[in-house]
Structure 1
Amino acid sequence: MKLSRVLLPSAIVGALLLTGCTTGGGTTQDASGADCLASGAASDAIAVKGDVGVDLELTNKLPLKADKLERTVLTEGKGKVIEDGQTVDVALSLFNGKSGEPLQQQPTAPMAYAKGTMLDWANEAFRCAVPGQQVALTASFNEMYDGVEPEQMSVADMTKEDAVVVVMEFGEISKTQAEPGTLEPGDLLKKAEGKEQAAPKDFPAVKLDADGKPEITMPEGVEAPTELSVATLIEGDGAVVEPGDRVYVHYRGVIWRTGEEFDSSWKRGAPVPFRTNEVIPGFTKALEGQKVGSQVISVVPAEDGGYGALKLEEMGHKPDDVMVFVLDILGAVSPE
């Protein structure tokens, strides 16, 4: 299971892996002085309600007809335009322009801008981004994803001529951190080790086998929570995990409703390395501030720290399922 916060279909993931001077709304140029992508009849027609990346809905007339790529600013931002090498917090909603159905809702997550690493439509959105700005982009599926069939992105109800609508909302822009180093297997702990802590009332029970692999049992008669909940089960004595660190984690994930395991690094036989800002918030909040050697349990509702209802359904779960993760922090490396 890929733990990336970038929860877009695989063909988009590689593209969104982005420039300027302004002190107010009305941004018309990127950091290099090039004009921003022009708006048009299709992008100007976009109207939305709700929160971008969470429950955004299209409210404009459908079906939308769009061919060439267009960009319209729905809400003006304020501040300096993003520059190459910076990172911006961004939420994204992707829609079928024919039916209005959401194809993806991606909650706010930091994303780095690096020229030449994106599809054209993503670059056009990012290169003129300023904090607080909300933009809509429209084009045909074929224009946005040249050479890709809709079926390859699990949108079989679309044709290549149908319109795609992307709405993005940009937040804080910051300097991109340096890339952390890596650790060798011999540098890692084998399992969590330290002082055991009692879990809060109504949390799942965790029992470890001889190797440290957790068995997770839901509390009887207790409904799954609706808010993200995190608790330390074992407090290690290693270095504190800082934002942006590369961590090495053994984890097991189960569904609260069924107790069924859906993912496990223990099952694969090796811990997983990732940066704390590259994963779902339910992981980020469980790891940052903890010490290496700790074991943490994170109870993650779909819409509070999780993958969102749409992604859960794509994964074969119910849209309101709650995920339970037990994570062992076996090593961490900070950016230099």
Structure 2
Amino acid sequence: MKLTRAIAPVALVGALLLAGCSGGGSAKADADGTDCLASGKASSSVKVSGSVGDDLKLTSDTPVSTKKIERSVIKEGKGDVVEAGQSVLTSMTLFSGADGSVLQQLPANAITVDKGGLADWAYEGLRCATAGEQVALAAPYADVFGDQDPKETGLDNITADDSLVIVMEFGEISDAADAAAATGEPGTLEDSELLKKAEGKSVKAPAGFPTVKLADNGEPTITIPKGVDAPTKLSIATLIEGDGETVKPGDRVYVNYRGVIWSTGEEFDSSWSRGAPANFMTTGVIGGFQKALEGQKVGSQVISVVPAEDGGYGAAGLKQQGHKEDDVMVFVLDILGTVHADSAAE
């Protein structure tokens, strides 16, 4: 299970987990006024002891079973609910709902509340957070792992019929820019500072590359060429040449992207489908993304064809994500904005 989506830093893929009863004083809605994820019988039954992310134990009765994600507050927090784009210091523990065994403990880590960059279950756990709050999520296996084979999750003692219990505890909430500066990371941009889509001079891709057709809003449709074998080496081409700032190593980059599998043409991930661009640092993602972005200008559109062992996740990583070990991924990326790495020191 992963907290972030397919373009997440390689170190997070298959490692970061978890997500998120409600008593007086707890948030009933997020900062945008949308109701928090509802509590239910399964999540409200959760009782724990110990420290979240360290030695937490499930002390309530098992099995815990649910057909939909539920979120309950175990311990109330104080202060304002987190806003989109802010960072929350978050500790997490994942339990098997079947027998209460600990599947993973994750110590405190600053996580940005970003609908486009988080898995759905994680976003639902975080978007109503308040400092000091402790919450429990109860979720069916499929809502966290999708159709991934339990044997490929890297976790023991789990089946696709189980429910999961995820306990989160929230610490300091800060503006993402402040959190980034504290860790030496580049700052962030507001939506109003981003391009809506790639814009610039169109460039014809080399022979053998997939073709890309754009909708009026810039969303790409990717068509794999018939009768052409997938490249065995990382292959990158510029489709639109922008004229904005140049992306440098370590920058935070904002992109809209779509990813398909070469052998089937099927989409496996897309920020377009989620309705919001993703952002990440170029040095924290797979090589197929990093090399496609660094040196490019804001406004550009780039296509990156990524074999597993040359810029990709590797055979084991693809298998863990539910793909074939030799699948080749095709990404089309619109570069909408960038924040230079040296801005963190300013």
TM-score normalised by length of structure 1: 0.52
Structure 1 residue corresponding to 2:201, chosen from 195, 204, 214: 195
Is residue 262 from structure 1 mapped to residue 268 from structure 2 by the alignment? Answer: yes
Residue pair 1:249, 1:271 contacting (<8 A) in 2 also = yes
Unaligned runs of 5+ in 1: 14-115, 119-149, 159-175
Structure 1 residue 217 corresponds to structure 2 residue 214: no
- The 8 Å contact of residues 241 and 300 in structure 2, kept in 1 or not, is answered as yes
Rate the CA distance shift 1:151–1:242 in 2: closer, same or farther, 3 A: same
Structure 1 CA distance, aligned partners of 2:285 and 2:313?
10
1:156 is aligned to 156
Q: Deviations over 1:122-168 (max 9, x none)?
A: xxxxxxxxxxxxxxxxxxxxxxxxxxxx999633379xxxxxxxxxx
Of 8, 11, 16, the residue aligned with 1:6 is 11
How far has the Cα of 1:316 moved from its partner?
1.6
Shift of 1:321: 0.4
**Runs of 4+ displaced beyond 2 Å:** 7-13, 150-158
SS of the aligned residue for 1:10 comes to coil
State the partner residue of 2:279.
273
* Distance of aligned partners of 1:240 and 1:151 in 2 relative to their CA distance in 1, 3 Å threshold: same
CA–CA separation in structure 2 for the residues paired with 1:288 and 1:152:
32
SS at 1:313's partner residue?
Answer: helix
Matched residues in 1 for 2:298 and 2:194: separation? 10
Q: Does 1:326 align with 2:339?
A: no
Counterpart amino acid of residue 156 in structure 1 = D
C-alpha displacement of 1:297: 0.1
Q: Is the alpha carbon distance of 1:7 and 1:308 closer, same or farther for their aligned partners in structure 2, counting shifts above 3 Å?
A: farther
In the TM superposition, what are the counterparts of 1:1-336 in structure 2 within 5 Å?
1-3=5-7, 4-7=9-12, 9-10=14-15, 154-156=154-156, 178-335=184-341, 336=343
1:133 corresponds in structure 2 to none
Letter in 1 for 2:197: K
Distance 1:219 1:152 in 2: 31
Q: Judging changes above 3 Å, is the alpha-carbon distance between structure 1 residues 153 and 253 closer, same or farther for their aligned structure 2 residues?
A: closer
Cα RMSD of the aligned pairs, angstroms, is: 2.6
With over 3 angstroms needed to count, the CA separation of the structure-2 counterparts of 1:188 and 1:300, relative to structure 1, is: same
Q: Residues 162-191 of structure 1, C-alpha deviation per residue, up to 9 Å, x if partnerless?
A: xxxxxxxxxxxxxx9932111100000000
Distance 1:287 1:243 in 2: 9
Amino acid at match of 2:155: V
TM-aligned CA deviation for residue 253 of structure 1: 0.1
Which residues of structure 2 form unaligned runs of 5+?
Answer: 19-106, 110-149, 159-181
Partner of 2:284, secondary structure, is coil
CA-CA distance at 1:9 after TM superposition: 3.1
Q: Give CA deviations for 1:27-83 in whole Å, capped at 9, x if unaligned.
A: xxxxxxxxxxxxxxxxxxxxxxxxxxxxxxxxxxxxxxxxxxxxxxxxxxxxxxxxx
Amino acid across the alignment from 2:302: V
The letter of the residue matching 1:180 is P
Q: Aligned pair in 2 of structure 1 residues 322, 151: CA closer, same or farther (>3 Å)?
A: closer
Alpha-carbon distance change, 236 to 212 in structure 1, aligned in 2, over 3 angstroms: same
Deviation at 1:261, TM superposition (A): 0.1
Listed one character per residue, the Cα deviations across residues 204-246 of structure 1 (whole Å, up to 9, x for unaligned) are 0000011100000011110001100000000000000000101
Pairwise CA distance, 1:10:
2.2
Cα distance in 2 for partners of 1:231, 1:254 equals 16
- Deviations for 1:250-284, whole angstroms, at most 9, x for unmatched residues? 00000000000000000000100111011000000
The answer to whether the Cα contact below 8 Å between 2:6 and 2:269 also exists between their aligned partners in 1 is no
- How far residue 330 of structure 1 moved from its aligned partner, in angstroms, is 0.3
Deviation at 1:314, TM superposition (A): 1.7
Identity %: 63
| Residue range with higher mean Cα deviation, 231-240 or 3-12 | 3-12
Give the whole-Å Cα distance in 1 for the aligned partners of 2:248 and 2:273: 27
Q: Is the 8 A contact 2:152 2:320 kept in 1?
A: no
Q: Do 1:228 and 1:301's aligned partners in 2 also have CA atoms closer than 8 Å?
A: yes
In 1: Cα distance, 2:6 partner to 2:263 partner: 22
Alignment CA distance shift 1:225-1:177 (3 Å): farther
- Which amino acid in 2 is paired with 1:319? E
* Preserved contact between residue 240 and residue 289 of structure 1 (Cα < 8 Å): yes
Matched with 1:96 is none
